Structure 1
Amino acid sequence: MSKLKVAVIGCGSIAKYRHLPEYHLNNQVELVAVCDIVAERAEEMAAQYGAKAFTDYKEVIKLEGIDAISVCLPNYLHAPVSIAALNAGKHVLCEKPMATSKEEAEAMIQAAKANDKKLMIAHNQRFVSSHQKAKEILDLGKLGKIYSFKTTFGHPGPEGWSVDGAGSWFFNKEKAFIGAMGDLGVHKADLMRYLLGEFTEVGAFIETNAKQNTEVDDNAVCILRTAHGVIGTLTASWAYVSGGGDNSTIIYGEKGTLRLEADPEYSLIEEYRDGSVVYHKLDKIQTNEEGGQSTTHVINHFVESIALNREPLITGEEGMKSLEIILAALESQETKRIVSLKKEVLSK
């Protein structure tokens, strides 16, 4: 099979540490082009990976022979660039959050359908070993009825990781649209949907109390309810400045508790009412720190979905459902009300 020809648009940290090296390691891929508004950045990545450098994404999209594009841009550009790429006949892997509104997300999904191309959203939490094992345990019914959960994603903030530091677009409301909720919260919304199914109601307290000179949220606590009455909390924060942050999830059921990424040694711990405990030492959850570069599996999954012509695990529709939880949280903060997600509830 001929190699998949790929372009990466946006050469910031997520491209530098995730997309580019992971494409490079995939022997089914040829990295053809990289693009960044900062020419030196594009040129540096192009030299490293033997690709051609561009500063205008429109030129990249027009290139003949490009099969797929990674969109690694500020949030406000996710939808317009993804739609342009899909309309040009390219498959698209778009970073999260997929868009800044439901309308934008729907337009992306429509463009993928109209052009018969794959659209995948880069939610990597579904690929984490402990999360996949937890889904297996839950699907087997080992916990019995699920009662509650708490899920958290917090770290000191993007200034320590973003290529532009404290001057990063992450803090610019016009470009980012949302802060910690879009950076971290949407990951956990996607994870909890993957593990527990759809949510029907969202309430939230959202603050900007840890960062200076920004209007985007940096601290959020959401309360979620599923159609089946499972209730829990989702926390997203850029204020966890010590202890390495928190990326944990705990699920409470009738017969026991699952602790995911909540212990330094064991990625998953099953604790049961009868006193039995099962400890799982699995692949560590990926981090963006130096030396923490385990694969996210996102790139390989995207490439495989194109090669085998099958739907990726996180389609545009899936990305939109996770985005809707975050949009509902913002609405809840604004209106001081619980927001209904108004989905048709499937009876089980």
Structure 2
Amino acid sequence: MAKLRIGVIGCGSIAQHRHLLEYAANKDVELVAVCDIVEDRVKEIASKYQAKAYTDYKELIQSGEVDAVSVCTPNYLHAPISIEALNNGLHVLCEKPMATSREEAEAMIQAAEKSGKKLMIAHNQRFVRSHQLARQLIESGSIGKIYSFRTAFGHPGPEGWSVDGKDSWFFQKEKAYIGAMGDLGVHKTDLLRYLLDEEIVEVGAFIETTAKDFADVDDTAVCALKTESGIIGTLAASWSYTAKEDNSTIIYGEKAIIRLEDHPTYSLIVHYSNGEVVNYELGKIQSNDEGGQKTTHVIDHFVDSVTQNTEPLISGEEGMRSLAVILAAIKSNDTKTIAKVFE
């Protein structure tokens, strides 16, 4: 079988630490093209991976040399690049958040449907082993009725991770649209929807800039969320956790409490109401920190969905539903009211 020819558009940190490495490690892939508006950067990456360098994404898309692309650009470019690629008959793996509005997300989904090509959004938390096992435990009924939850994703901020440091697009509203809530919060809205297997329908949010005085986007957000069955809980997303990353989730159920990624050794701990405690050592969550897993499984899943013609776990529709919670949080903060996710 011929290898899947891949192009990566945007050669910043997420491409360098995730997409490029994982494509290079996949035996079913040929990494043939890379694109970035920074010419020196794209030439260096192209040389490293023996790929062709482009500075114009439209040239790459229309080259006829690739079957699929990863879109690893600033948020405001996700939709136009993805739509251009889909309209030209390419499969698309797009970084999160998939777009900056519901209208953009819907246009991406329509382009995928019209072209018959795959559109996957790169939410990696569904592939974490502890999260997958927690979903199975909840589905099995062993946790009982779910009452509440608490989830957080915070770290010191993109300036320590982005190739452009404090000058990164992450901090510029016209390119990012939203800060920590879009960067980290959307991971957790997707995770909660996956774990609980139901939609979040209402949001009350406080979204502030408290730590990054050089940024014109939020760096700290705290939200109260309500699901369709009435489960209530909180989500925190922040670039102000200066000493240590927090990527934890706790599910409070009738028969047990599940603690996810909240212990240095045990990535899943189940405290049953009868006093029994079960610890699961499943390996660390993917992270840029020392000892964190470097494989997200996102790339392999995308490649498999294309080569085996299966629906990706995080389709455009799934990505849009997770984005919709973030957009509702923004509305809630702006209007100082409880916002409905789907109106």
One fold, TM greater than 0.5?
Answer: yes
Match of 2:214 in 1: 213
**CA drift at 1:291:** 5.4
CA distance in 2, matches of 1:121, 1:248: 22
Matched residues in 2 for 1:231 and 1:175: separation?
Answer: 32
TM-score by length of 2: 0.98
Aligned residue number for residue 170 of structure 1: 170
Query: Which whole-Å CA distance do the structure 2 matches of 1:56 and 1:293 have between them?
Result: 33
The amino acid across from 2:331 in the alignment is E
Q: Which residue of 1 aligns with 2:68?
A: 68
**SS class of match (1:111):** helix
* Offset, 1:339: 0.7
- Rounded to whole Å, the distance in 2 between the matches of 1:107 and 1:88 is 15
Tell me which amino acid in the other structure corresponds to 1:186. Answer: V
Root mean square deviation of aligned Cα = 0.9
Deviations along 1:106-161, whole A, 9 cap, x unmatched?
00000000000000000000000100010010010111000000000000000000
1:160 paired to 2:163: no
Which deviations, in whole Å up to 9, do the C-alpha atoms of 1:54-95 show, x marking residues without a partner?
Answer: 111111001113110000000000000000000010000000
Distance in 2 separating the partners of 1:48 and 1:296: 21
- Aligned mates of 1:24, 1:165 — CA distance in 2: 26
**In the alignment, does 2:130 pair up with 1:130?**
yes
Letter in 2 for 1:89: G
- The match for 1:40 is 40
Q: Residues 180-226 of structure 1, C-alpha deviation per residue, up to 9 Å, x if partnerless?
A: 01110000000000011111111101101110122201000000001
Residue 335 of structure 2 corresponds to which residue in structure 1? 335
Deviation at 1:290, TM superposition (A): 5.7
Residue of structure 2 in register with 1:266 after alignment: 266
More moved, 15-24 vs 56-65: 56-65
Stretch of structure 1 that moved more, 317-326 or 45-54: 45-54
> What's the CA shift for 1:289?
3.5
Aligned residue runs from structure 1 range 94-105, under 5 A: 94-105=94-105
Q: How does 1:244-323 map to 2 (within 5 A)?
A: 244-289=244-289, 292-323=292-323
- Alignment partner of 2:215: what SS? coil
Using the TM superposition, give the Cα deviation of residue 227 of structure 1 relative to its aligned residue in structure 2, in angstroms. 1.1
Alignment-derived partner of residue 199 in structure 1: 200
Counterpart CA distance in 1 for 2:290 and 2:272 is 36
Matches within 5 A, 1:171-186: 171-186=171-186
SS in 2 for 1:203: strand
Name the CA distance, whole Å, in 2 between partners of 1:198 and 1:102: 16
Secondary structure in 1 matching 2:111 = helix
SS in 1 for 2:286: coil
User: 1:346: which partner in 2?
Assistant: none
Tell me the secondary structure at the aligned position of residue 22 of structure 2. helix
Per the TM alignment, residue 245 of structure 1 is displaced from its structure 2 partner at its CA by 1.2
Inter-partner Cα distance in structure 2 for 1:212 and 1:339: 28
Size of the aligned set, in residue pairs, is 342
% same residue: 67
Q: Secondary structure at the match of 1:84?
A: helix
